[in-house]
A and B are shown apart, each in its own frame.
Chain A
Amino acid sequence: MDMNNEQLDEFLEMSTVLTAFSAYKLKGTGQLEAYFNTVVEIVGKATMDELLNAYRKVKKAANNDETVLNKQLRFQILSNDKLGPITRNIIKMWFIGSWYQLPNAWRENYGEAEKDSTFVISTNAYIEGLLWPTIDSHPPGAKAPGYGTWASKPQISEL
């Protein structure tokens, strides 16, 4: 796939805001390209451009103020009927490694992509889901923490 590095960086940066995980941690999953490509394959390059443009605007308006950034993200992207569902899917991919079929309304308005069904991106994507480290756990069936570890207090702190 023709992948523009600058876009990939922007996608990564937006993902850090959506997930509250650092770029380092997100890259560490090894899934950045796979998730980027999944979005492009399903909604198309033009829509990906639109999303990243919107994010660029949000960032500019926020001017490094976190509160404004979060608010603008809701105004410009998450509440946008085209970009919102895609963005929520990006969050879900990071956390659990699956793409979920876009809502019916979205599909009616913006077209049904052939690949737009609910599926697990890959074995590794499932295993690298960020939901599990969030709750100091591991994906069922993988990355087992070792005998007896379950007996101790989990290392979880509020952010």
Chain B
Amino acid sequence: MRHLKRVVTHQTALEKEYDVVVVGSGISGSIIANELSQKGYKILILEAGPGKDLTLSGYEKYLNNFYTATSKDNNAPYKRNPNASMPRSVDVKKKKPGKPNADSYLVQNGPFISDFTYSRVVGGTTMHFESKLPRMLPEDFNVLSTYGHGLDWPINYEDLMPYYRKAEFEMGVSGNVSSQTFSKQKAYADDYVFPMKEMPPSYLDKCVAKDLDGAEIKLAGKTYSLKIRTFPQGRNGIPNENYKKFNNGELFKPVGAVSEHQAEEGERCQGNNNCTPICPVQAKYDGRKTLAKALGTGNVDILPQTVASRVVIDSATGKVDQIVYKSYQELDSDEHTTSTVKAKLFVLAANAVENARLMLASGLNSTSDQMGRNLMDHPYILTWALLPKIAGTTRGTICTSGISDLRNGDFRSKQAAFAVDIHNDGWGWATGGAETNLLNIVDNQNKFGKDLRNELVHQISKQLLLANMVEMMPDPKNRITVDHKYVDRLRNPRPIVTMEIPEYTMEGIAFARQLSKFVFQRLGAEDYSKYDPMDYGYVKYKDEDYAIRGGNHLAGTHIMGTNADDSVVDRNQKSWDHKNLYLVGAGSMPTIGTSNTTLTLAALCFMSVEAMLKDLEA
């Protein structure tokens, strides 16, 4: 019960003196808490969501909620919690003209309506993330000077390299460095390997590769050769012998299930095909694995069901004086107490949307007025087809391979780069999964017995879904704001999202759609992609229809830069305005390229820890 003991009462927390208060127990907050506590600093974590998943039985309850939920959306394992709500894709509706969509947690101002989500539970959004963990490319850090779009970072890829390694160790990355060589610049040291070997590509990947590898396409006057490559992933596989030299001569030890007892689970990915929303055996990395280590130091306390609601600044020093929080006992009651905490250092790790929401709700929009602005995500355009032969769809992790060759190139001066995932789980994201096929075959195609079974094989085992993840650049108009008209049950202001897909991104989306047509034609696959004007994510661009999905890679709401006038935080994610405040996570990223954001935000957190240690020592 080691972990549970660190869940303290408010009385205990009030009586203790902490060096650092961390808001949020996701991967960002957990890395910070773990690293600082290993050095002996006393940390208190405020966590808005419930904390029962610190135990194996609590985790299994989530799993059971998932099994018996009729709608298996990304947040299906978690009970609705009006005291610390989270966005759910099932709540998203098409926008009506003239007023924002305000009847679920996220107030959506449009014009683009996104179905992005995140989780507010112990462990944060990594509880249900897919755990695809590519690095950003060296070029991504200088897109403005190289391609004339977006922003340059105040740091280079080289600055972040050692921290990428730390992040790959922390999250236990399985992958093959040689499948990551599409940057013009050298991105990995010659002998570097990931901690674990590459996840084997699925049979579906191989069916696609057989007819696609070597295909050439032209883009902005250049020819690109396509190749199906695996993605690095944060899930347990087979440790790589050659990693020993990066791990003091030892083989990497995969981290198992988080539990108060010795647990058999979490050793190796078993191909449950359920990484989002919940991995049943904890083979997938999630933030609790880092959190458990932090709590294990004995220096970290956590207050779950405690929502940070205001950051209070000392007007004399400009420093953060305290954080006001509201803590509740029950998910189904609004009864709560309000209190405050003080510390030497404050770290907001509540994710890009919630960090900005909290700062704005505190009236702190920063000297640069960039707080909440430059909101980015990776818009996805899905394309789906039926292959001519059985490809074994629905087996494996959600995604093992895809096309990465168009993640960089001179075309980025004209249009967005993109990465393509082959979805081992088939059409689910676009059409609702195997259940939808079953219902249609039984209710409309009037099949039973053998015909039904053959039809299921035909309609499901040949599915190919390509998820095209497209780059989106920062734009100050895309933003999170708050308005005291819109509050949640504890009267905390809810985030208001204003987002438009920039033309640069739309060009990338349009090209990605064309690429899918080319791929399907080459594979002899029947294209079933269809974009309904009634879809909430519907966009018409140059006379073509698209239905765009949110990528859940929210970023940019407190970007880092070179001075207080152009950004919210410095290269160490420290607030320019408040010298004892760090805002960490993807919110600090000035651009996101075509990389799922978590590995990079983890690397940034490791880098920030060094600056925090200096502050604490001073």
Contact = CB atoms under 8 A, between A and B. Distances in A.
A123 B271 CA distance: 19
A150 B450 contact: no
A100 B450 CA distance: 22
Interface string B435-455: 100110011001011101110
Interface in A49-94: 70, 73-74, 78, 88, 91-92
B394 interface: yes
A144 B281 contact: yes
Identify which of A17, A70, A88, A135 gathers the most chain B CB atoms within 10 Å of its CB.
A135
B200 A142 contact: no
B449 A18 contact: yes
A18 B448 contact: yes
Contact of A123 (B68, B70, B281, B450): B68
Interface string A89-125: 0011001101010000000000000000011101100
Contact of B280 (A126, A135, A141, A151): A141
A7 interface: no
Contacts of A70: 449
Interface in B564-599: none
Given A18-B448, A73-B448, A136-B392, A156 B457 contact: yes
A34 interface: no
Contacts of A141: 63, 66-67, 272-274, 278, 280
B256 interface: no
A150 B400 contact: yes
A28 interface: no
Contacts of B395: 136-138, 145, 149-150, 154
A116 B102 CA distance: 32
B269 interface: yes
A152 interface: yes
Interface residues of A, number: 46
A103 B46 CA distance: 48
A159 B454 contact: yes
Identify which of B72, B272, B453 gathers the most chain A CB atoms within 10 Å of its CB.
B453
Contacts of A96: 435, 438
Interface string B259-288: 000000000111111100010110000000
A92 B200 contact: no
B390 A154 contact: yes
Contact of A19 (B68, B200, B452, B461): B452
Interface of B: 63-64, 66-70, 72, 200-203, 206, 237-238, 268-274, 278, 280-281, 390, 392-397, 400, 424-425, 434-435, 438-439, 442-443, 446, 448-450, 452-454, 456-457, 460-461
B313 to A, nearest CB: 46
Contact of A142 (B237, B269, B272): B272
22 contacts: A20-B452, A91-B452, A96-B438, A120-B70, A126-B68, A131-B456, A132-B394, A134-B456, A135-B457, A136-B392, A137-B392, A137-B395, A140-B272, A147-B269, A148-B271, A150-B392, A150-B400, A151-B200, A151-B202, A151-B203, A151-B206, A153-B203
A78 B443 CA distance: 10
Given A98-B70, A123-B68, A147-B270, A159 B450 contact: yes
A126 B358 CA distance: 40
A137 B456 CA distance: 12
A154 B63 contact: no
A40 interface: no
A145 B442 contact: no
A152 B70 contact: no
B438 A95 contact: yes
B492 to A, nearest CB: 33
B67 A100 contact: no
A158 interface: yes
A151 B443 CA distance: 33
A88 B446 CA distance: 9
Which label, helix, strand, loop or mixed, suits the secondary structure of the B interface?
loop
A127 interface: yes
B392 A153 contact: yes
B392 A154 contact: yes
A119 to B, nearest CB: 6
A119 B70 CA distance: 6
B271 A150 contact: yes
B201 A123 contact: no
A64 B206 CA distance: 44
B201 A151 contact: yes
B230 to A, nearest CB: 11
Contact of A120 (B68, B200, B268, B457): B68
A60 to B, nearest CB: 19
A136 B390 CA distance: 11
A57 B598 CA distance: 62
A123 B413 CA distance: 52
Given A134-B453, A140-B72, A154-B392, 6 more contacts: A17-B449, A92-B439, A135-B393, A150-B200, A150-B397, A151-B203
Contacts of A148: 200, 271
A98 B272 CA distance: 20
B17 to A, nearest CB: 44
Contacts of B425: 140
Given A100-B439, A136-B392, A147-B237, A20 B450 contact: yes
Given A141-B274, A147-B268, A78 B70 contact: no
Contacts of B69: 120
A65 B520 CA distance: 43
Given A91-B448, A136-B392, A154-B461, A20 B453 contact: yes
Contacts of A147: 237-238, 268-271
B7 to A, nearest CB: 27
